[in-house]
Structure 1
Amino acid sequence: SPNTSAIKTSDEEPWKDYRPGGYHPVPIGETFSDGRYLVVCKLGWNHLSTVWLVR
């Protein structure tokens, strides 16, 4: 289960949109590609995408 406090505020995308075919919940600190990318923070979103800062 994602750490919802890390990614959700009242002015962000609705939780009902987090589903297969919709948004994917990404907790701060999650890594991708065998640790190559570390999620630092969420920069923004719209109805087509979410933008994350990774390093």
Structure 2
Amino acid sequence: MIFDYSELIRLIKFKYGTQDMFAKALGIGRVSLSQRLNNRLEFTQEEILKSAK
């Protein structure tokens, strides 16, 4: 399933400044985050829970 992460990307920039900082908060690499935001990989339940905090 394809998701539109544009709102999430906007919130990441607002709260964390960069996608790299958000990736570090999730405990994943910048490339892994990019793959998730571009629908190449799915977010895990753990990553979703961490991002909601």
The normalised TM-score by structure 1 is 0.28
**Which protein is richer in helix relative to its size?**
2
Larger Rg: 1
**Which protein is richer in strand relative to its size?**
1
